[in-house]
Chains A and B, each alone.
Chain A
């Protein structure tokens, strides 16, 4: 693992029953970059992200973080799930959602310290959600909902942000805002790994792309992957490799 990398996947494999979701994946994620995990439906993108976060244990292979075991650096990593995995009717406010990332540092009888409250308030402010703190999360727009989850990740002081299809259901304005926020997170020296579908805007914000179809078909800069023959092969569309 080079000093410049944040996460290293080594020979990761995971299967659902007999069907392999990912197979023998080895890839090194560079610090301070936005890396996209892209590929057709069912190519194992979300499974790879969950293995990288430690949510699921790979059946073989392992993940290293910042040169050590993933479990030793779990605090440096944050995970933002797919939108459809969230119950938006759940009785939780933006403020409480952001503070869930701080639960780990508290015992059941401890209240939030002034420092923890400052951290969560700052994260809410950074994501432009002042005035929405006491709103139930279902009352937010799609873009605000994603920003609320990003605020939770920011409050935990994470160095690596793992996002599973964060652009799903966002309109053009909200997509643009989210891209700006992800770039700002990167410019602050943090690393972003994002499962993404849309090749039409990938080159706008992704520094690197991993093209996945159970195994890694191509890993390189965004333009390199978008213009590669492997992309056409992955999707089976002759013209896809020309998209920008």
Chain B
């Protein structure tokens, strides 16, 4: 039980849990919006923003990198909307085009940084698969503050978000502007992805967004219950993944967290099937 007093472990655990609870909450809104792949698009779309911030400021500060990542992620989201609206390409086709293009651009920018010997560049390549152990106490404070902001916006706008996602015509009828609140969801998703990049990386962060939401949806008939259960799953998955990576120190935390959340999803699906079978056999 020495891990309970290990400051590095506590640091990583706090960071992973804070990120997981905000990504899980935002993920529930993306899930019911039937926009689950947006998380993937945002994650890949964040990379060019991060490397641009690094090229122009040479900073590794999480706050600045997150701002770059968020803006770049949002650009990807708007590109998807633009392509889907202005061409005959379907939304999922537009997402595939944008996420692969932005990922490619990210790799080009990283290569540029590496070839030009920018100072302080070590660890930038970690953003592909994440490196939670590299989180500092300052990073945790930034993640905590941003997570609180995300939750505050979700709570204060919950009813409006529910209405635009469920019945956008009725929302318009009630004077709510669906476009504004859809943009809020995309923005919060981009911010969640941006602060989670260091933990899970561009390739895996989408799993932190959608897996808890999908596992919770199996059990819940109400959006609010789904969000709360997704958060519980995210805390369990995040903590279990951090513990696993502590037990196997040469393995990164992000992939362990994703594997634990995937296990929760499969267990949740299995338990639901068993539960339904027991009901029908009664």
Contacts and interface: CB of A to CB of B under 8 A. Distances in A.
Contact of B222 (A50, A54, A93, A100): A93
Contact of A108 (B32, B157, B165, B173): B157
A90 interface: yes
A225 to B, nearest CB: 27
A85 B157 CA distance: 23
Interface string A75-114: 0000101000111001111001000100110101100000
B174 A103 contact: yes
Contacts of B222: 91-93, 96
A134 interface: yes
B169 A85 contact: yes
A87 B223 CA distance: 13
Interface residues of B, number: 26
Given A74-B175, A91-B32, A108-B158, A81 B221 contact: no
A135 B221 contact: yes
B163 interface: yes
Contact of A100 (B32, B155, B166, B217): B166
A74 B172 CA distance: 11
Nearest to A103: B159
A86 B167 contact: yes
A108 B221 contact: no
Nearest to A77: B173
A92 B173 contact: no
Q: Is the interface of B mostly helix, strand, loop or mixed?
A: helix
Given A106-B159, A135-B221, A90 B173 contact: no
A53 interface: yes
A55 B175 CA distance: 8
Contact of A79 (B32, B173, B217): B173
A interface, by DSSP: helix, strand, loop or mixed? Answer: loop
A108 B157 CA distance: 7
B178 to A, nearest CB: 11
Given A91-B226, A104-B174, A81 B158 contact: no
Contacts of B170: 79, 81, 100
Contacts of B10: none
Given A108-B157, A108-B159, A134 B221 contact: yes
30 contacts: A53-B173, A54-B173, A55-B169, A55-B173, A56-B172, A74-B173, A79-B173, A81-B167, A86-B167, A87-B32, A87-B166, A91-B32, A91-B221, A91-B225, A92-B221, A92-B222, A92-B223, A93-B222, A96-B222, A100-B159, A100-B162, A100-B163, A100-B166, A100-B170, A106-B159, A108-B155, A108-B157, A109-B156, A134-B221, A135-B221
Given A91-B217, A103-B159, 19 more contacts: A54-B173, A74-B175, A85-B169, A87-B32, A90-B165, A90-B223, A91-B222, A91-B226, A92-B162, A92-B166, A92-B221, A92-B223, A93-B221, A100-B162, A103-B163, A103-B174, A108-B159, A109-B156, A134-B221
